[in-house]
Structure 1
Amino acid sequence: MSDEPPLSRLDLNLLVALDALLTERNVTRAAARLRLSQPALSSALARLRTHFDDPLLVRRGNQYDLTPLAVRLAELSVSALEGARRVFDSRASWEASSSSREFVVYGSDYALATAAPAISRAAKAEAPGVRLRFVLSSVAFIEDVAQRLVSADGLLMPHGVVAPMPHVDLFSDDWVVLAAADSPLPEGALTMQTLAERPWAFTYQSRQAFTSAGRQLEQLGVDPVVETVVESFVNLPMFIEHTDRLALVQRRLARRVCRLGDVRVHELPFAATPILNALWWHPVHDADPEHRWLRQLAVAAVGDQRFR
């Protein structure tokens, strides 16, 4: 028999209070947010402190700090609340054309600049009341992606970045090199020696965050001289123009971002492994008819001729 207390013994209203308290870090502001009296929320805080055997909020001068346990609970409470909302928002039947549901999809700025606008346009045409919230993913999100996707609708990310999870493939892409237009490098003259000698602007450079083409460079014996790291594919042109730096960027994105800086696109002197982009989700969403609609919409959107 499980030692865990049954849910019937727990007051789930305390979860709402917990989330507000950990977000606001102030009883008065949390009470105003929930439209409750301050004594009522103070009582809820007392019950939470007893339940967790932890003060949760600790006064530091004129403000409150979260305890280490409260820091962990802050992220868990968001996921738990979103899960509860999904339970009570579920319907036996669902029509996209009359829905006002919000879908939350994470992705790199590359995904948000390529696939996301196409998906948004398709949703507007098919379900004008539906709202899509696209959120920039982070290294922390990717490292805890299984847990994070419980309370999100999906992640736009290439294969090889996240552990195997349910997904649908969307589109493939390959890599090119950006160089400043006023660089002495002539068009199409890239060699492996040039890649080894020139400084680079990289988007990611850690064990958890890297590009497949950047890793392939190392496997081919090129140890890139990384002069600057900017965790954004879209902003790379601004770090390349008027310098002798090089940068790796996806071909589909290069078409869109070259206008942001005075840069040119060059072909790689080796066959970089293409990337296959997909929409990933948590298994909890497998049977959700609303989520199935989102997956089908994403596939249709990137298959549209306007996306290509």
Structure 2
Amino acid sequence: MTDRPSLARLDLNLLIALDALLTERSVTKAAQQLHLSQPALSASLARLRAHFNDPILARQGNSYELTPLALRLAEHTSTALDSARRVFESQAEWSPADSTREFSVYGSDYSFATVGRAACAIASERAPGVRFRFMLHTPAVIDDVENRLRSVDGMMIPHGFLTDLPYLDLWRDRWLIVAAIENERVREGLTLEALGELPWVFTYQSRSAFTSASRQLQQLGIEPHVEAVVESFLALPHFIAGTDRLGLVQAGLSDSLLGSGDVRLIEPPFDATPVLNALWWHPVHGRDPEHTWMRGIFAEAAATLSAPTHG
């Protein structure tokens, strides 16, 4: 026997109230978000406090702070709410042309500017009511990827970061080195020696966020002097133009980066491992016909991509 309350006796509307309270940390603001009166939401907070035997919101001076339990709940509440929405939004028969579904996908600005843009273009022709929400992944998201993917539709990220999840290979790309137009050290090409002497801008640099090419540099015995880390590939030219810095970027972004006229792209002086991009998702979405349709759109979009060659 268990003394835990039966799910049938719980008011799932309290989950909506809890999510708003944890987000806003204010009864007044949460009530405004939900278009409820303040007394109605205060009553919900009282029921939540009784259920959890915890204040949830604790007054600190003129404001409220989340209790330790509330901080733990915040990690799961939005996921649970999104999952509940998916359950009740599901339909026995689904027509893309009539759908207003939103597909949410994690990725980098590189994946958004390439296959994400192409997928939106294809979907807009066949399902004008469907929309995509593209969200930047972070090291914290990748570290908790299995839980995060329960409440979103997928993550676009190359092989080498995720395991034990279903995936769809999308497109293959290659690495180029970004340098300023006026950088004299690269005018006649690059050498391995120069890679170790010149400063760098890395796009990611942590245990779970990195690029395969930056790891490859270290495997070649080159320890790059990193002057800046920016979690954006499209921002690289702003940190490299007018300096001696170098950066690594996928060839698929060549046109976007060269548009400024301030940087050039150079073939690396080593055999850089290609990038194999993929769409990953949680097994819970495997039999969802809407998700299957979305995967097909991304497969079509990837087929339209090719890595341009710039030297």
TM superposition score category, shorter chain reference: over 0.9
2:11 equivalent in structure 1: 11
Distance in 2, Cα, partners of 1:136 & 1:35? 29
2:74 equivalent in structure 1: 74
Instruction: Please tell me whether residue 122 in structure 1 is matched to residue 122 in structure 2.
Output: yes
Q: Contact (CA 8 Å) 2:105, 2:154: kept in 1 or not?
A: yes
TM-score, length-normalised on structure 2? 0.94
- 1:39, CA displacement in angstroms? 2.0
Distance in 2, Cα, partners of 1:95 & 1:44? 38
Q: How does 1:198-213 map to 2 (within 5 A)?
A: 198-213=198-213
State the aligned residue count: 308
1:20 equivalent in structure 2: 20
Distance in 2, Cα, partners of 1:253 & 1:72? 39
2:232 equivalent in structure 1: 232
Q: Which consecutive segments of 4 or more residues in structure 1 shift more than 6 A?
A: 305-308
Could you say what the CA RMSD is over the residues aligned between the two structures, in angstroms?
1.7
Residue 157 of structure 2 aligns with an amino acid whose one-letter code is M
Q: Contact (CA 8 Å) 1:237, 1:261: kept in 2 or not?
A: no
Instruction: Please tell me whether residue 164 in structure 1 is matched to residue 164 in structure 2.
Output: yes
Residue 125 of structure 1 aligns with an amino acid whose one-letter code is E
Distance in 1, Cα, partners of 2:220 & 2:258? 27
- 1:247, CA displacement in angstroms? 0.5
Residue 190 of structure 1 aligns with an amino acid whose one-letter code is L
Distance in 1, Cα, partners of 2:125 & 2:220? 46
Distance in 2, Cα, partners of 1:287 & 1:304? 26
- 1:207, CA displacement in angstroms? 1.3
Distance in 1, Cα, partners of 2:186 & 2:27? 63
Any idea what SS the aligned residue of 1:150 has?
coil
- Render the CA deviation track for 1:228-265: whole Å, top value 9, x for unaligned: 11111110011111101111111111332222460111
Q: How does 1:126-141 map to 2 (within 5 A)?
A: 126-141=126-141
What's the % identity of the aligned pairs? Answer: 57
Change (3 A) 1:306 1:163: closer
Instruction: Please tell me whether residue 300 in structure 1 is matched to residue 300 in structure 2.
Output: yes
1:45 equivalent in structure 2: 45
TM-score, length-normalised on structure 1? 0.95
- Render the CA deviation track for 1:244-288: whole Å, top value 9, x for unaligned: 111111111133222246011111111111111011111110000
Residue 106 of structure 1 aligns with an amino acid whose one-letter code is Y
Residue 49 of structure 2 aligns with an amino acid whose one-letter code is R
- 1:187, CA displacement in angstroms? 4.1
Change (3 A) 1:288 1:113: same
Distance in 2, Cα, partners of 1:307 & 1:7? 52
Unaligned runs of 5+ in 1: none
- 1:186, CA displacement in angstroms? 4.0
- 1:71, CA displacement in angstroms? 1.9
Any idea what SS the aligned residue of 1:156 has?
strand
Residue 248 of structure 2 aligns with an amino acid whose one-letter code is L
Distance in 2, Cα, partners of 1:294 & 1:126? 11
Q: Contact (CA 8 Å) 1:241, 1:261: kept in 2 or not?
A: no
Q: How does 1:194-273 map to 2 (within 5 A)?
A: 194-260=194-260, 262-273=262-273
